[in-house]
Structure 1
Amino acid sequence: MSWLPDDFVHPVHVPLPGGTHHLRPISEADTALDYPAVMGSRERLWDIFGPAWGWPQETMSYEEDRVDLLRHEEEIAAHRSFNYALFDTAETALLGCVYIDPPERAGSDGEISWWVVDNLLGGEVERTLDTLVPQWIAADWPFRRPRFLGRDISWRDWLALPQHP
């Protein structure tokens, strides 16, 4: 049984309030924007995602990032998991990501996490994304018990939960 209804259609463009940023599914073609965003915020991202995902490694190459984005693109097409990139209007900069994944740990039917690049920390774009993501998930996704990793549960507490059955 799939983690999403067979007739679910995932959003392909999600504007942030204010009209200057949006989310869309990431693709391999975004590597040139993703790589500097990830590596420019790598230390903080490792502190967040490293213990759970082993990402992003200090030695991650451009090619490894490209392969990772291709994997994400294929997972999105197959509805196995979703990675939405945060862009400016003209898509000249990738500014963060939102991950929507099937549950790995017991107690939820979808696990959601997100990040912004270091230079947006504490700013209006991050605050807007922090407000938007839970509202968007509630409005457009078929989850009854979404879990917001690093938000409503710490990563440490999440890792301590039993595996999803």
Structure 2
Amino acid sequence: MLFSVHLSPLASGVMSKSFVPDDFDPPRGLSQPQFHLVPLDVEHNESDHAAWTSSIAHIRSTPGYESGKWPPSGGMSLEENRGDLERHAHDFAERSGFTFTVLKPRTAEVLGCVYIYPMTDGEHDAQIHSWVRADVGMLDSPLHSAVSSWVAEQWPFGNVRYAERSS
């Protein structure tokens, strides 16, 4: 998976338990020549698991992941990963967080992930995290740029926290 993006609602708009306005229809993806974003779901389990477990050190060196809390250094089982994907799909359905898998165009091969979730720091509406596999590390900056523009243009957030990338 390439990134994770976490967003929170704007001050205006009617809100439910979700962090986006009730009348907001979250985008279901983003298509770029080098990758496609689609909502993460259990159908991506094996490819997602293979993607991040093959790139733990690379992901931990990606801006936004320096704390070392994720991914777990010892990995996790395929079944545990499925549970994680089920939680992300539930968050998407409940509009409490939005996780997108980054796919290689015209395939189901997971390249990374993007997470959009609420921020509670009082300064940001949402927080975005993203990662890509080590073997496609050159996609990190293009993904960051595309997601930054996509969120600014199509999501209801005024101030998003998303760790900068070097060009």
Do structure 1's residue 151 and structure 2's residue 151 form an aligned pair?
no
| Structure 2 partner of 1:135 | 149
Q: How many Å apart are 1:44 and its aligned residue?
A: 2.8
Match of 1:23 among 16, 22, 37: 37
3-state secondary structure, aligned to 1:151: coil
Percentage identity across paired residues of the two chains: 31
| Structure 1 partner of 2:70 | 55
> What residue identity is the alignment partner of 2:134?
D
> What residue identity is the alignment partner of 2:88?
H
In the superposition, the TM-score normalised over structure 1's length comes to 0.80
Q: How many Å apart are 1:50 and its aligned residue?
A: 6.7
Q: How many Å apart are 1:110 and its aligned residue?
A: 0.7
> What residue identity is the alignment partner of 1:5?
P
Do structure 1's residue 14 and structure 2's residue 27 form an aligned pair?
no
- Structure 1: give runs of 5+ residues left out of the alignment: 153-165
- Structure 2: give runs of 5+ residues left out of the alignment: 1-14
3-state secondary structure, aligned to 1:111: strand
| Structure 2 partner of 1:45 | 59
| Structure 2 partner of 1:99 | 115
CA distance in structure 2 between the aligned counterparts of 1:133 and 1:28, rounded to whole angstroms: 22
Q: Please give the root-mean-square deviation of Cα atoms over the aligned residues, in Å.
A: 1.9
Q: How many Å apart are 1:61 and its aligned residue?
A: 1.1
Do structure 1's residue 115 and structure 2's residue 128 form an aligned pair?
no
- In the alignment of these two chains, the number of paired residues is 146
| Structure 2 partner of 1:163 | none
CA distance in structure 1 between the aligned counterparts of 2:146 and 2:78, rounded to whole angstroms: 30
| Structure 2 partner of 1:35 | 49
Q: Once superposed, which parts of structure 1, at least 4 consecutive aligned residues long, lie more than 6 Å away? A: none
| Structure 2 partner of 1:156 | none
- Structure in which a larger fraction of residues adopt helix: 1
Q: Is the 8 A contact 2:59 2:132 kept in 1?
A: no
In the superposition, the TM-score normalised over structure 2's length comes to 0.79
CA distance in structure 2 between the aligned counterparts of 1:45 and 1:106, rounded to whole angstroms: 27
Q: How many Å apart are 1:47 and its aligned residue?
A: 4.8
3-state secondary structure, aligned to 2:21: coil
Q: Is the 8 A contact 2:52 2:133 kept in 1?
A: yes
Q: How many Å apart are 1:3 and its aligned residue?
A: 2.1
CA distance in structure 2 between the aligned counterparts of 1:44 and 1:112, rounded to whole angstroms: 18
